[in-house]
Structure 1
Amino acid sequence: MKYIKNTGKLMVAVALMLMVVLPSCKKDFFDIEDPQGIDSDIWKDEGAVGLYLNRTYALVIPQWPTLGGIHNTSDELNNANTALLYGTLNENSVTDIGTGNTITTNRYFDIRRCNLALEGLDTSTGVPASSKRILKGQFYFLRAYTYFRMVNLYGGVPLVLKAQEITNEGIPSVPRAKTSECIAAIARDLDSAAANLPAKWTANAGLGRITKAAAMAVKGKVLMYWASPQFNPTNIASRWEDAYVACKAAYDQSVTDGYGLLANYANIFTVEDNSEVMIVRKYSTSRDLGTNLENVTRPSSESSGGGGSNQPTWNLVQSYLKSNGMPIVNAVTDDTVIKYNANQFWLNRDPRFTASIVYNGALYPLSGKSDRKQWSYNGINDEGSINTGFYSKRFTVSSLSPSQALYNSNTGGGNGMDWIEMRFAEVILNYAECANETGRMTEAKDMVRKIRVRAGIVAGAYDYGLAIGSAIPAMRNLILNERQTEFALEGKRYFDLRRTRNLSLISARQSHRLTVKLPYVSGNLPATPVVGRIYLDAANTLGEKPRDTVNVNNAVTYSTVFTLPATVASIEGSNVISIPNNYYFYALPNFFSQNSFVIEQTIGWINGSFDPLQ
């Protein structure tokens, strides 16, 4: 965890160096209030440019998805933005492009940082040519990534490729460019990045930095977006062909450069800097550089307050395949060995299920307790609010105590887990999708098969479940569902559903709750226990609780202790999921649309006239 968590030690080292090289610099030299005031001497010193670059990475590379944020909302979790789900977003709801005129509240300040660097390095006489090349490659990538993140939300945006003075509250003085022009500019920048970046960085010095293959992978992703129904509702075939060529090239380059699938899916986020990581934001347990994700994801009984805030839904649980890659419900005659059990739904499932989902009675080691079981039945006395009946096993570290799991920005803590913005599995599935859409079915299946083999799915009688992908539409659905499983809880479902114009697939989020059956009783031990009843949550003198002796894998035991089937219910209350079509391209917030006479609002929103499909 050295880079953007990284910047602490590096900033101190470079700042000390700058006190010698640039004696007029202050501690906040690169964040000074005067946005025009970047000293041109910076481009004469490689160390100074490096510090400036580190800050740009910190501003551009995404952080952990916000729980309940708009862009992390689907039917996967109890945390969600209900304004999106219930169709009540307004023109000021999606403010990613900017809300102010500071470096942290306006993405055009990020664009300007990159433009200044690219122009400054072009004229620099103090930075060696070899270093200049690699530095420029990173700034090209960071500019492209900033534009891509805006375009996939709003469509075309003002395209500024030269450093301009900051005027009008930081709002560009040019109109919105056509989306096609923005996509072309992003692709050019990514080509320039790939041409200048190394295949690998040297040891710790390059942790968190962009490589050639990563730049190519993002280009493939950008062109896949441009080809997808969000931007391409008439299905222009040439866009898919362009995307296929780019995604295949990215895959080939990644393999050549040593990227690969990590053997154990469960370790993707817990083993740092593994072969699957392509774009990452580094974290640590240090103050100001950590995350509280561990504490909020854990159940309340193993957290320091605020636990249980990241609960998977029954919707997500049902999306997992069986262990042979077949859906739990399908129209194909299934083999007679692997069957789906609606009550003991965790049996015979895709191994990624066990690596991701914690159900009632599942083994869930935490706080150093290797044999710990997790319970979520109604009335349990030590778990606080249970919304869905499930917990997430991903993004937690079993060895941490509850106090260690808590992160505080003043003192540090938490698990320090890196956020992986892109991993090699995404490169594979992007390639698979483009291959399918261009009629290359064999290639598409070959790619998905790699993902399923790594997951531990068995071949069975249906080629890892790929047999049901008999034509482009069927394979399209298979790949979309594969992405949901492979990237479960990683915040990608929302973007996939927008990109494919499938927001209508988001249904009411559901819980799956179990009730204890007499003579078993949940909750605290009463003052006068009833003879013959077994109080599951009451510990004996050794601290042992009867619930921990229950084997939920035994069907007889399971049905003896709990009323079956469980109760499945919506957690939406009286609200109805209703996501309008204009959410495929959001409105520019008023800060942008009302402070410029040349920037049009998006069609479908108040006073909108800009067409994002051009």
Structure 2
Amino acid sequence: MNMKNLRKYIIYSVLIGSLASCNDELDLKPISEETAASAYATGPQIQAALTGVYESFQSSDYYIWDRVIYQDVRSDNYYAGGDNPEIFEFDRVEVSPTNARVNGMWSSVYNAISKANVVLENAPLVEERITEEEREQIIGQAYFLRAFNYFHLVKTFGGVPLYLEFINSPDPSVIRKPRATEEEVYAQILSDLEEALTRLPDDYGTDASVNKARATKGAANALFAKVYAQMPNPDYTKVVEHANAVINSPAGYTLLSNYEDLFNGNNYNNAESILEIQFLGGDEGNWAPQMHLPPSISGDTWRKFVTPSVDLVDAFDTEGDNIRKNASILFENVTWIDEYWGNTPNSNIPFAYKWKNASAWNSADNEYLLRLADIMLLKAEALNELGQIAQSAEIVNTIRERVELDPLTEEQTASQSAMRDAILKERRLELAQEAKRWDDLIRYDKVMQVMNNVDDIDLRTGQSVNYNVTEKDLLLPIPQEEIDRNPTLEQNPGY
């Protein structure tokens, strides 16, 4: 089914998802009893409900652009830019429990989980206009999407409540769940991915806009690799196993020969892509590029958000990585004052440039959720941790060769520790603005070391910025609004 047809049901699906939200203490039982008997009686109806789960990618501020704030602005890659105090909190790594962006992320991701639960509960009951193959694929996609959303919650907050059923009762004992442990959440994610992998196909036919928009075996294996790498006790053998399943997939994933082609707006749903957020432009467009791009492209004159950091630009320049730098960053003179790049009007400052087309808030630029280069570098990381340094370096050199960089030096490959540094740097340059950096620093146990050694100078005062990142800052706070609503929730330490 093409994206136009898939999204015919979005308004209907959002309505069902809002009714399913685990945060709404409403009398849902009469509604759920009525809809269960009639809303999901046929294949097209349960397909519409599944489309509603995918729609969460296009409607959630978190997936559209806040995940870049969580990962890149919060780390050493980008500054907040703009004028939003709540984004400044991420920039300074001083996020408060009342930050509305945190509450919005929690709510929208749990809303997607609720919609996935609706599909998982009702798909087995559908009897009309559905084949068994279609049913299994729908269930597999719902398991994948639930796992994907829980993964974003657990790596952001630690242990979170596990809602594995559609909430159709106002009973506080059902609605107000306590936090599961981090280990329990990861165990559930792995269980859901196992269920997904047995049901998902390698592809849905020849239409790339469908294959890259829907969960496949490749997407499930890619997420498996990321989960096994990110969890508190990583399993590097499993990371390699699932990364190999992606690399050797019958779907034929392969690196594009030209890095710039990934981001020029003309080659989405390409061979390197595993899963993308799809935008068609117009009334089904992506508004995030307008928030980032310079006046010459966006057509407006206000200060933009997510400004590349001095440290990131230096990292590209020190490596001589002009290809990835030019694909990721665009410099332009601006009328406003920037506290890190120029404290006088008409200063030349950088802009986040991996989304290229603003289109007046209606861009057709897609966003990558999973792509092959990320998974290849995760495999390199796992091989290095397993003591296979030469094999790890071979993968990193393949990534570097595409952007015309020399192979890693003997010094960089001389030890496991040196290779860790080389891989972390390579991931930074390859994946900037793709919402990966904070997770990488967490995985390498380098958040405090890296952030507290950043030498940012506030040009307004000439003073260094002291980020003062501590153990508390490794996780974000549970939203205060959720704690007020659900007294069983315990706040993360230090907040």
Question: TM-score, normalization: structure 1?
Answer: 0.67
The 1:355–1:571 alpha-carbon spacing in structure 2 relative to 1, beyond 3 Å, is: farther
Determine the C-alpha separation between the residues in 2 that align with 1:386 and 1:484.
Answer: 29
Say whether the 8 Å CA contact 2:275–2:368 is kept in structure 1.
yes
Provide closer, same or farther for how the CA distance between residues 262 and 384 of structure 1 changes in structure 2, counting only shifts above 3 A.
farther
Equivalents in 1 of 2:334, 2:354: separation in Å?
18
Deviations 1:427-451 (A, max 9, x none): 1011111111111112211211121
Tell me if the contact between 1:310 and 1:392 (Cα under 8 Å) persists in the aligned partners: yes
Contact 2:97 2:480 survives alignment (8 Å):
yes
Deviations 1:448-490 (A, max 9, x none): 11211112224xxxx3446522111110111110011001222
Measured after TM superposition, the shift of residue 118 of structure 1 is 1.2
Identity, % of aligned pairs? Answer: 22
Which position in structure 1 is the counterpart of 2:283?
Answer: 287
The equivalent residue for 2:215 is 210
Name the SS of the counterpart of 2:65 in structure 1: coil
Q: Which residue identity does 2:77 align to in structure 1?
A: E
Tell me how far 1:572 sits from its aligned partner: 8.3
Q: Distance in 2 between matches of 1:483 and 1:26?
A: 37
Say whether the 8 Å CA contact 2:10–2:51 is kept in structure 1. Answer: no
Gaps (5+ residues) in structure 2?
20-25, 82-86, 338-342
- Tell me if structure 1 keeps the 8 A contact 2:69–2:306: no
Q: Cα offset for 1:349?
A: 4.1
Specify the code of the residue in structure 1 equivalent to 2:165: K
Distance in structure 1 (CA, Å) of the matches to 2:187 and 2:90: 30
Aligned to 1:124: 126
2:273 corresponds to which of 259, 271, 277? 277
Q: Indicate the SS of the match to 2:40.
A: helix
1:311 is paired with a residue whose SS is strand
Equivalent residue of 1:389, what SS? strand
Structure 2 residue 94 is matched with structure 1 residue 88? yes
Q: CA deviation at 1:510?
A: 4.7
Instruction: Name the amino acid aligned to 1:165.
Output: N
Q: CA RMSD in A?
A: 3.6
Query: What is the rounded CA distance, in whole Å, between the counterparts of 1:93 and 1:147 in structure 2?
Result: 20
- Residue of structure 1 equivalent to 2:432: 488
Structure 2 partner of 1:267: 261
Q: Which is further off, 41-50 or 304-313?
A: 304-313
Alignment of 1:497-508 (within 5 A): 497-504=441-448, 505-506=450-451, 507-508=453-454
Instruction: Give the conservation status (yes or no) of the 8 Å contact 2:204–2:210.
Output: yes
Are residues 191 and 387 of structure 1, via their aligned partners in 2, closer, same or farther at CA, if it must alter by over 3 Å? farther
| Residues 1:407 and 2:360 aligned together | yes
Mapping of 1:133-282 within 5 angstroms? 133-167=136-170, 172-202=175-205, 203=207, 204-226=209-231, 231-232=232-233, 239-253=235-249, 256-269=250-263, 270=265, 271-282=267-278
Structure-2 separation of matches of 1:26 and 1:468: 51
Q: Does structure 1 retain, via aligned residues, the 8 Å contact 2:95–2:477?
A: no
Instruction: Give the unaligned 5+ runs of structure 1.
Output: 16-24, 233-237, 328-347, 360-373, 398-404, 512-567, 606-614
- Name the counterpart of 1:535: none
Partner of 1:581: 471
1:456 to 400, 404, 408: 404
Partner AA of 1:452 in structure 2: R
Q: What does the per-residue CA deviation read over 1:566-594, in whole Å, with 9 as the maximum and x for residues that have no partner?
A: xx968986642222211112321223333
Q: Which of 501-510 and 430-439 deviates more?
A: 501-510
Q: Residue 526 of structure 1 aligns with which residue?
A: none
CA distance in 1, matches of 2:344, 2:42: 55
Partner AA of 2:121 in structure 1: E
Number of matched pairs: 464
Q: Distance in 1 between matches of 2:428 and 2:474?
A: 19
Q: Which residue does 2:69 correspond to in 1?
A: 69
For 1:111 and 1:376, how far apart are their aligned partners in 2? Answer: 42
Change over 3 Å in CA distance of 1:200–1:376 after alignment to 2: same
Check conservation: 1:304, 1:406, Cα contact below 8 A.
no
> In terms of mean alpha carbon deviation, does 500-509 or 116-125 score higher?
500-509
Matched AA of 2:360: Y
Q: Secondary structure at the match of 2:162?
A: coil
CA contact (8 A) 2:455 2:465 kept: no
Distance 1:389 1:53 in 2: 43
Q: CA deviation at 1:82?
A: 3.2
Aligned to 1:543: none
**What is aligned with 1:304?**
300
Q: Which moved more, 1:134-143 or 1:167-176?
A: 167-176
Q: Rate the CA distance shift 1:29–1:88 in 2: closer, same or farther, 3 A.
A: closer
Task: Please give the alpha-carbon distance, in whole angstroms, between the structure 2 residues aligned to 1:71 and 1:27.
Answer: 27
Identify the match of residue 349 of structure 2 among 372, 384, 389.
389
Instruction: Establish whether residue 447 from structure 1 lines up as the match of residue 441 from structure 2.
Output: no
3-state SS in 1 of match to 2:274: strand
The alignment status of 1:603 with 2:493, answered yes or no, reads yes
Counterpart of 1:43 (choices 40, 44, 54) is: 40
| SS, match of residue 143 in structure 1 | helix
User: Partner residue of 2:419?
Assistant: 475
Alignment CA distance shift 1:304-1:248 (3 Å) = same
Q: Give how far 1:278 is off.
A: 1.1
Q: Which moved more, 1:69-78 or 1:183-192?
A: 69-78
Matches of 2:195 and 2:119, distance apart in 1: 14
Structure 1 pair 422–211 and aligned structure 2 pair: CA distance change class (3 A)? same
> Partners of 2:13 and 2:97 in 1: how far apart?
39
Structure of larger gyration radius: 1
Match of residue 115, structure 1, among 109, 114, 117: 117
Q: Is the 8 A contact 2:455 2:464 kept in 1?
A: no
What is aligned with 1:355?
Answer: 327
Output the CA distance in 2 between the equivalents of 1:375 and 1:239.
Answer: 47
What amino acid sits opposite 1:491 in the alignment?
A
Letter of the 2:476 partner, please give it.
Y
What is the rounded CA distance, in whole Å, between the counterparts of 1:151 and 1:494 in structure 2?
14
Q: Is the contact between residue 277 and residue 420 of structure 1 (CA under 8 Å) also seen in structure 2? A: yes
Q: CA deviation at 1:277?
A: 1.1
- The aligned residue for residue 525 of structure 1 is none
How far the C-alpha of 1:301 sits from its partner, in A, is: 8.1
What do residues 389-417 of structure 1 show as CA deviations (whole Å, max 9, x unaligned)?
A: 334443225xxxxxxx4424xxx4xx410
Between the aligned partners of 2:174 and 2:70, the Cα distance in structure 1 is 24
Match of 1:57 among 47, 54, 57: 54
CA deviation map 1:82-126 (0-9, x unaligned): 3244453223337646689xxxx3543332322222121223222
Counterpart-to-counterpart distance in 2, 1:384 and 1:308: 16
- Structure 2 length as normaliser, TM-score? 0.82
Matched, 1:318 2:307: no
Code of the residue aligned with 1:418 in structure 2: it is N
Change (3 A) 1:207 1:317: closer
Cα distance, 1:184 vs structure 2: 1.3
Task: Check whether the contact 2:321–2:403 (CA below 8 A) recurs between aligned residues.
Answer: no
What letter matches 1:263 in structure 2?
Answer: S
User: Could you tell which deviates more after superposition, 162-171 or 117-126?
Assistant: 162-171
